[in-house]
Each structure stands twice: as structure tokens, then as C-alpha cells.
Amino acid sequence: MVTAPDVEEGRYVGVTVNSFTSVSLDPPLILWSLDRNAQSRSAFERSDCFAVNVLSSEQRQISSHFARKQNDKFDGMEVTTGAEGAPLLEGCVARFQCRREQMLDGGDHLIFVGTVTDFDTDPKREPLVFYRGRYSNVQLEDASGDVR
């Protein structure tokens, strides 16, 4: 889930994305893409920061909530504001705070590249996974190869 401040409207925007990826470790760069028809497109284009909130397995409702078109997706949500200004969701597996570096043409999507300026993680939480059109669970192996 990617979030950003909408500086023109004085509110937050957010969208469920199906992936993001590491671009570089030095400097720490990540990228994600946004459908050009997304309701929040202009806000993401105007914002110089964003946050990638990696949802936990308990946050399935949040993923579905932010995937739908709505005027104020943050109504009733528990959020804090990160150092760069992007909203951060509570209860996530990980959160990447980013300063936008580039916005590139990606056909029917826009590609956002950001420098990671801060990162936090909760290793006790399991990630939310969406696979083959539905939510799934991760099965972790211990050092011996046994599933736990």
C-alpha cells in the first residue's frame, strides 16, 4: 500500500499496489507503479514523498479498502505522519519512507522511483500476500527446512 500527502487538497491519498521492488542498495532506491487512470494520480504526481506500507496478514480489510475508489480513504484510519510527510499506517510488517526522485512513463502506468530515507519493520508480523487472485498465507521454513 502506497500513501502520500495531497498537498493541494490538504489530505492524504493511498492506493493498494500489487508490488514494489528494490532498484539499488547504494543509494537505497525502490520503485512502484500507478495506473494512469487512478483517482489519486494527480496527488501522487504533485507529492515529493511517499511511503510504502507493507501490510500484515491481519490487514486484509485495509488492502481491500484502499483498492476501492473513495473520496477519503483515511477516514477512521490510525496513521502517523513520517519525517518526509507521508502518512504511515500502524500494524504493518514494514514501512519505507521515501523522497520521490523520478516519475517515469510506463505505458498505461506511471513509475515512481524513490530514495528510502527511513525504514522500520515488525519481524513478529506475517506479511499479507495476494497470489492468483486471492489472499494467501506465507509458509516459513526454519534453518532445517521444516515449515513452521
Cis peptide before 87 (omega within 30 of 0): no
Confidence at residue 76, expressed as pLDDT on a 0 to 100 scale:
84
pLDDT over threshold 80, residue 84 = yes
Q: Is the pTM of this model over 0.85?
A: yes
What one-character-per-residue DSSP string does 16-84 give?
A: --S-EEEEEETTEEEEEEEETT-TTHHHHHH-SEEEEEE-BGGGHHHHHHHHS--S-TTTT--EEE-TT
pLDDT digits (tens, 9 = 90+) for 45-81: 999 999 999 999 999 999 999 888 887 899 888 899 9
Q: What is the CATH number of domain 2-136?
A: 2.30.110.10
3 vs 146, residue with greater confidence: 3
Q: In degrees to the nearest 10, what's the CA dihedral of 56, 62, 64, 69?
A: -140
In this structure, what C-alpha cell is assigned to residue 112?
Answer: 515512481
